[in-house]
Structure 1
Amino acid sequence: MAQPGDGTTRTPARRRPSPAALALVIAVGVVALQALLVPLFSAPAAKIEPRDLPVVVAGPAPAADGFAGQLESARPGAFEITRLADAAAADEALRDRDAYAAFVVGPDGLTLRTAPAASPTVATLLTQASAQMNGGQPVRTVEVVPLDQDDPRGTGFASGFLPLAITSLLAGAAIYFATRGRRPRLAGLVGYAVLAGLVSAAVLQIWLGVIPGTYLANAAAIGLFTLAVAASVAGLASVLGEAGIGLGALVVFLIGNALSGVSSAPQLLPQPWGEVGQWLPIGAGGTLLRSTAFFDGAGASRAVWILAGYAIVGLALVALGRTKAEAATPAPAEDKVATTV
C-alpha cells in the first residue's frame, strides 16, 4: 500500500477476462468473420452473368444494327455494344482488349469472334448466347486471341496465379518479422520481387507452358504484382504492428481474391464489386499478367499504375514506420518531482 506522504499512488490492477470468456469472444469474432466472408466468396460465384460486358457488333449497317438491337432487347444491361465496320476492325478491338468478343454479321450469317485469353468463361457464355440468338443453331466461332495450347481451358493460368498472392503475403510478413532495420526490409522486399518475377515467369511460361508472350515482360508483371502485395503487408505491419498483417491479409488477399475476377472477368461479377476488385492488387495483377502474356501489353496501363501505387505506398510505410527495435524501446518517462511531507 502507498504510505502517507511518500508522493506515490498505485492504480488497481486490471482484472483479466477468464479463459472461458476469452474463448467465447474469439469464437464470436471468428463466426462474425465467417458470416462476412462466405457471401463475399459465394455470391459473386453464384451470380456470374454479363453486366455491361464490352462486345462488338460488326457488319453492314442494316443487318448489324438490327442484331445489336436484338442483343440489347434479349439481355438488357448485359452488354456494352460498340458498332464497327467489319471483322478486321473487330479483331483489332479484341487484340487491344477493348472488347471480349465480336458478333460479325455477314452474307454467310452470324460469326462469333472471341478472345478466350481475356476470359475463357466469357468466351463460353457468349458461344452459348450466340446459339440462342441464332435460333438454337450453333454459330461459327473464330478464336482471335486463343489461350495457350498447353492450357486450353485457362484453368492453369487462374490456378497458377493464386499461389503468387499467397506467397507474396507470407513474404511480406516474414520479411517484417525477420529483419529489424528499414534498409534490410526494403532490400528484402525488392529482392524478393525481382526473384519472384524471374522464377515464377520461368515456371509458368517455360516449365508449365500456361502463358505465352515475352518472358521478361511476364517477369516484370509478376515482379510488380508480388512487390505490391508484399510491400503492402510489410508496410501495414511497420505502422500497425502485427495487426497490420491481419489487415493486409483481409483486404489484399481474402477480399481481393474474391473480387478479382481472375478466373472469370470483372464484368461478370455483381457491380460495383467487379470494379472494386480491379483496384485491389490481385485483380490488377491478373489483368496485368493477361495483358503481357496474351495481348502484347494492351490494356495494361491502369493495372500498372494501381500496382505501382500499392508498391510505392507500402515501401514508404516501411521506410517511415517504426522498426521492432524502436517499438520495443519504451518512451522516456517524464521526470517525477519527489514530494515530501
Structure 2
Amino acid sequence: MNTTQRALAVAVGAALLQALMLIAFAWPAANIAPRDLPIAVTGPQADLVVSQLAAHSPDAFDISRPADEAAARAAIEDREVYGAIVTGDGPPRVLIASAASVAVAQQLTQLGQQLSGAPAARVDDVVATDSDDPHGNAFGAMVLPLALSGIAAGVLLSLLIPTVRGKALGLVTFGAVGGLLSMEIIQGWMSIVPGAYLELAAVAGLVSFAVSGAVVGLSAAIGRAGIAIAALTMLLIGNPFSAATSAPELLPQPWGAIGQLLPPGAAASLLRSVAFFDGAGAGKPLVVLLIWVAAALVLLGTGALRSRRPDEIPTPAPIPVTTG
C-alpha cells in the first residue's frame, strides 16, 4: 500500500469512527423515555392512578403499591423506586429523588401536573442532589473523565511497560492515586457530592482500575488489538449508555441494561448509592466492577503465560546413566 492509499484508508476509517461516535452519543439522548421505570403509587385513589398510567403509557412504568406514604419514602431511599405518587388529601402529590436521576425527577414532576390538572404539582424531593450541583450536571460529567483517563492510563501502561508485574503495579498505583486525587477535586474542591471521602475515593479508584485494567489485560492477552477493542468498548458503548445523566430505564433497551454491565455505568450507579443513599443499591454495581477487576487480573496472568518463551522454561537436568 503506497502513501496515497494509506492516507485514504486512514481518512475513511476516521470518518467511520466519527459516524459511530455520533450514533453512540446522539442516538440514546434522542430517545430518552421511561421504559419499565420503577415507581410507587399509594393512597386511596391508587387504583385510579394506576389505571390512568396504564392507559396512557402502558410500558412506561413498573408500578409497585406500598402500604402508605412512609413505605413509599422508604422504597425511594432504598433505591427500589425512583419516585412515588401519593393520593388522598387533595390532588396527587409527587415524591421524587433528584439524586437518583434529575431527568426522572423532572418527568415525574410533569406527570404529577398532568394527574392533578394544576400548573404546579405538589412535589417533595426525598433525596435531593447536592446544593452545589442542583441540576446534577457536574455529577453526570464525572463519568467521561474517569473513563477517558482510565483508557489513557491503560494505553500508556500497555505500550511503555514491558513486564506483566510492572503493568500490575502501575494499575494498582493508578487506581489508588487516581481515586484519591479525583475525589479530592470533586468533593474537596468542587464540593458536588456528599458522603465519606475515603469511600468515594475507593469507588473512583475501583473504576479507574477496572477501565485501565480492561485495556492492559486485553493487550497482554491478545496483543495490541486488545487496546483498540477495550478502548472502543468503553468509549462507544460504556460511556454513552452509562446513564450518568439520565437513568438506565430511560435509555433504549437492551442498551440501558448493557451499559450497567460496563465500568462507566456501574461507576455512575455506585457513586450515586454511596454519595446520596448510604450505600443502598450498591451491591450490583460493586459486583460488576469487581468482576471487571478480576477479569483484568486473569487476562494479565494469561498474558504472562503467553509471553513466556520456550527457552525460559527450565529443562530438567539429564539423568546420568551408569553401565555395569
Task: Give the TM-score, by structure 1 length.
Answer: 0.87
Does the CA-based 8 Å contact 1:232-1:310 persist in structure 2? yes
Aligned amino acid, residue 70 of structure 1: Q
Distance (whole Å) between structure 1 residues aligned to residue 175 and residue 11 of structure 2:
37
Residue 136 of structure 1 deviates from its aligned partner by 4.3
1:158 and 2:140 matched:
yes
Number of aligned residues: 312
Which residue number in structure 2 is paired with residue 83 of structure 1? 65
Does the CA-based 8 Å contact 1:119-1:263 persist in structure 2? yes
1:50 and 2:42 matched:
no
Distance (whole Å) between structure 2 residues aligned to residue 246 and residue 172 of structure 1:
11
Q: Aligned match of 1:71 in 53, 59, 77?
A: 53
Which whole-Å deviations, capped at 9, do the CAs of 1:21-78 have from their partners, x for residues lacking one? 2222223333333333322221110111111100000113xx1111111112111211
Q: Secondary structure at the match of 2:191?
A: coil
Distance (whole Å) between structure 2 residues aligned to residue 39 and residue 167 of structure 1:
22
Which whole-Å deviations, capped at 9, do the CAs of 1:82-126 have from their partners, x for residues lacking one? 011211101100011001110001213311010000001110111
Distance (whole Å) between structure 2 residues aligned to residue 216 and residue 234 of structure 1:
26
Does the CA-based 8 Å contact 1:181-1:323 persist in structure 2? no
Aligned amino acid, residue 96 of structure 1: D
Aligned amino acid, residue 230 of structure 1: S
Which residue number in structure 2 is paired with residue 313 of structure 1? 295
Does the CA-based 8 Å contact 1:186-1:319 persist in structure 2? no
Question: What are the equivalent positions in structure 2 for 1:1-341 lying under 5 Å apart?
Answer: 17-60=1-44, 63-322=45-304, 326=307
Which residue number in structure 1 is paired with residue 322 of structure 2? none
Structure 2: which 5+ runs fail to align?
313-324
Structure 1: which 5+ runs fail to align?
1-16, 333-341
Deviates more, 1:252-261 or 1:17-26: 17-26
Which whole-Å deviations, capped at 9, do the CAs of 1:201-241 have from their partners, x for residues lacking one? 22211211111011122111111111110100111111232
Does the CA-based 8 Å contact 2:20-2:236 persist in structure 1? no
Q: Secondary structure at the match of 2:198?
A: helix
CA RMSD of aligned residues (A): 2.0
Residue 322 of structure 1 deviates from its aligned partner by 4.8
Q: Secondary structure at the match of 1:57?
A: strand
Which whole-Å deviations, capped at 9, do the CAs of 1:269-322 have from their partners, x for residues lacking one? 111111111111101111111110001111111111111111111122123215
Distance (whole Å) between structure 1 residues aligned to residue 265 and residue 208 of structure 2:
13
Distance (whole Å) between structure 1 residues aligned to residue 181 and residue 13 of structure 2:
39
- The 4+ residue runs of structure 1 with deviation greater than 4 A are 329-332
Q: Secondary structure at the match of 2:239?
A: helix
Task: Give the TM-score, by structure 2 length.
Answer: 0.91
Identity of aligned residues (%): 43
Distance (whole Å) between structure 2 residues aligned to residue 246 and residue 102 of structure 1:
43
Deviates more, 1:287-296 or 1:241-250: 241-250
Distance (whole Å) between structure 1 residues aligned to residue 204 and residue 88 of structure 2:
41
Residue 148 of structure 1 deviates from its aligned partner by 0.5
Aligned amino acid, residue 121 of structure 2: V
Deviates more, 1:114-123 or 1:247-256: 247-256
Distance (whole Å) between structure 2 residues aligned to residue 322 and residue 28 of structure 1:
36
Distance (whole Å) between structure 1 residues aligned to residue 85 and residue 61 of structure 2:
12
Deviates more, 1:84-93 or 1:24-33: 24-33
Q: Secondary structure at the match of 2:130?
A: coil
Does the CA-based 8 Å contact 1:233-1:249 persist in structure 2? yes
Q: Secondary structure at the match of 2:93?
A: strand
